[in-house]
Amino acid sequence: MAAVEVIAEVGIGRTTHRAVAARAGLPLGATTYYFPTLDDLIAAGLQRAASDVQDDLELWGARLRAAEDVPTALAELIAGYLADRKRAQIECELYVAAGRDVTLRPLALAWMTGLRGLLEPHLGATAARDLIALVDGVMLQALITGRDVDTLSLTATIRRLAAR
């Protein structure tokens, strides 16, 4: 996780063994022993982030498939995701960094395409596209303001977008 945190904070180009070791509270030799090259370390960090995204998408997919009310379930999933602010902040940093670092784009695209794949069967292509933008905006605003998501208002907004 330390590698993902450093990558999110400073970018791939400025990630070092020393920075990751410091973040993890380990001696430098520990990171270089397990990850002999910086590329190995960065690849492991990105693999971890990709695995976390995939795990989230699987969880969200299962919840949405079982949901009697998709808008309510989606609002609850968003609020639940944001309950772990540190993780959400790290993943948001990676997501935003993908705009300037092409090596991070597969992570951002995995989230967008995965979420679209989960929402389209329930709501259609247009609503799924609009809802992905809403989800991203809600998450970003919650992280910036530090406020919890108002799930009732969010559910109502999701319903309006899904009805179009």
pLDDT one digit per residue (tens) for the chain, 164 residues: 798 888 888 878 888 999 999 999 999 998 889 999 988 888 888 888 888 889 999 999 999 999 999 999 999 999 999 998 888 888 888 888 888 888 888 888 988 999 999 999 989 999 999 999 999 999 999 999 999 999 999 999 999 998 87
Q: Would you list the domain boundaries of the chain?
A: 48-162
Which CATH architecture is the domain 48-162 placed in?
Orthogonal Bundle (1.10)
According to the 3-state scheme, what is the secondary structure of 42-85? HHHHHHHHHHHHHHHHHHHHHHHHHCCCHHHHHHHHHHHHHCCH
Record the pTM: 0.83
Compute the distance between CA of residue 8 and CA of residue 91 in angstroms, rounded to an integer. 7
Please name the residue ranges forming H helices in the chain: 2-10, 17-24, 28-34, 38-66, 70-82, 85-97, 105-123, 125-145, 151-162
Cα Rg of the chain, angstroms = 17
